[in-house]
């Protein structure tokens, strides 16, 4: 895939570029299918055995090492807990983990290695990787849960989102987004700005793909804006927004520039929503 992407960027032939795009899209579709299967299998394990643990973990034979990090991130977002996903090939396993604010997962994984509970491991506060054998799996994960309990991780039922400001739709212009992009790059240390649009009305919702939701919202001045909520139907948000009945709603997300048919427009990468009677921003 990396070679295909490089060839695409360097190509000077339209026909070759189109062919490479098709190959990359096919590979991306396959990757999404593998990710979805792995995530569903991991959720089945977690629901049965450990949804109350301080750390979420799942492991299985044949899980592709290229998607375990993505799935760990999805689990972390769903449960708001540090999450580890491990794929085994025979007796050898490779895993990846994602953490939440306040817990240094990389340090914990390094401690497991020092104690001889895993083969190798390391990372930083928010992400880590490890390799281990099947015999090491349960002792290592048990110890990891023990360390997390001692660290007294605060497991909120719902993940808290930090909001950098409240915007009117009229202010969400391309110039603003480009200025914000110049403040990057963004990452774990410097978070991408997140904004709230308060007391807006949903004028359009449409499910796109398997789990995403397209939204259009407007304010009392008649200004409107589009939004996309990725993986909205993996939780309750997609269904709740789809069943809107004209009530005012607060929307929270990150600003983005959408490129379509040679035109640019602003859109919101929607992350969460609340109705005013339930939450005051």
Q: What is the pLDDT of residues 182-197, one digit of tens each?
A: 887 777 667 889 999 9
pLDDT at residue 280, rounded to an integer: 44
pLDDT at residue 49, rounded to an integer: 59
pLDDT in tens, 114-161: 999 999 999 998 999 999 999 999 999 999 998 888 876 655 445 667
**Percentage of the chain modeled with pLDDT above 70:** 91
Contact 199, 248 (CB under 8 A): yes
Q: What is the CATH number of domain 49-151?
A: 3.10.310.30
Would you say residue 247 has pLDDT above 80?
Answer: no
Classify residue 137 as left (phi > 0), alpha (psi -120 to 50) or beta.
alpha
**Mean pLDDT of all residues in 78-97:** 93
Angle at 50 between CA 118 and CA 35, to 5 degrees: 75
Range scoring the smallest mean pLDDT among 80-84, 147-151, 213-217: 147-151
**Mean pLDDT of all residues in 220-234:** 89
Does residue 185 have a cis peptide bond before it, meaning omega lies within 30 degrees of 0? Answer: yes
pLDDT at residue 277, rounded to an integer: 61
**CA distance linking residue 217 with residue 1, whole number of Å:** 37
Q: Does domain 165-274 have CATH number 3.40.50.1580?
A: no
Confidence of residue 50 (pLDDT cuts 50, 70, 90): low
As to burial, measured by CB atoms within 10 angstroms (0-12 exposed, 13-18 middle, 19+ buried), residue 131 is: middle
Check the CA dihedral 63-68-70-74 and report its sign: positive
More confident residue, 72 or 190: 72
175 three-state secondary structure = helix
Average pLDDT of the chain to the nearest whole number? 87
Using alpha carbons, select from 84, 99, 112, 96 the residue that is nearest to residue 153.
99
pLDDT at residue 158, rounded to an integer: 52
pLDDT at residue 156, rounded to an integer: 47
**Mean pLDDT of all residues in 213-219:** 92
Phi/psi at 6 (nearest 5 deg)? -65, -45
Contacts of residue 46, Cβ cutoff 8 Å, sequence gap at least 6: 56, 58, 75, 79
Contact 83, 75 (CB under 8 A): yes
**CA distance linking residue 63 with residue 73, whole number of Å:** 15
Contact 192, 186 (CB under 8 A): yes
CATH 3.10.310.30 domain span(s) along the chain: 49-151
Q: Which residue has the tokens 């002792």?
A: 139
Confidence of residue 281 (pLDDT cuts 50, 70, 90): very low
Q: Select, from the ranges 84-93, 216-225, 250-259, the one with the highest average predicted confidence (pLDDT).
A: 84-93
Phi/psi at 260 (nearest 5 deg)? -150, 120
**Mean pLDDT of all residues in 93-111:** 92
CATH 2.40.50.460 domain span(s) along the chain: 165-274
Is the pTM value of this prediction over 0.75?
A: no
Phi/psi at 156 (nearest 5 deg)? -75, 150
């Amino acid at each position: 895939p990396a070679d295909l992407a490089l060839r695409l960027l360097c190509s000077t032939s339209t026909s070759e570029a189109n062919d490479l795009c098709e190959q990359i899209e096919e590979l991306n579709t396959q990757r999404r299918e593998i990710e979805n299967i792995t995530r569903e299998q991991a959720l089945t394990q977690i629901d049965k055995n450990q949804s109350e643990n301080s750390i979420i973990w799942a492991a299985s034979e044949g899980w592709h090492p290229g998607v375990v990090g993505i799935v760990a991130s999805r689990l972390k977002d769903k449960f708001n807990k540090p999450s580890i996903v491990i794929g085994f090939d025979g007796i050898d396993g490779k895993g990846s983990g994602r953490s939440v604010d306040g817990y240094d997962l990389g340090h914990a994984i390094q401690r497991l290695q020092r104690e001889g509970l895993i083969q190798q491991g390391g990372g930083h506060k928010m992400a880590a990787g490890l390799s281990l054998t099947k015999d090491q799996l349960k002792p290592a994960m048990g110890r990891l849960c023990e360390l997390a309990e001692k660290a007294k991780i605060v497991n909120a039922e719902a993940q808290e989102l930090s909001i950098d400001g409240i915007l009117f739709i009229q202010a969400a212009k391309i110039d603003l987004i480009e200025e914000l992009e110049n403040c990057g790059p963004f990452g774990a240390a410097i978070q991408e700005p997140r904004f709230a649009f308060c007391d807006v009305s949903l004028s359009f919702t449409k499910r796109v793909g398997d789990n995403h939701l397209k939204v259009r919202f407007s304010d009392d001045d008649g200004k409107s804006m589009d939004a996309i909520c990725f993986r909205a139907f993996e939780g309750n948000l997609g269904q709740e927004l789809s069943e809107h009945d004209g009530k005012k709603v607060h929307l929270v997300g990150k600003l983005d520039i959408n490129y379509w048919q040679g035109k640019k427009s602003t859109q919101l990468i929607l992350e969460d929503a609340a109705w005013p009677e339930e939450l005051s921003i």
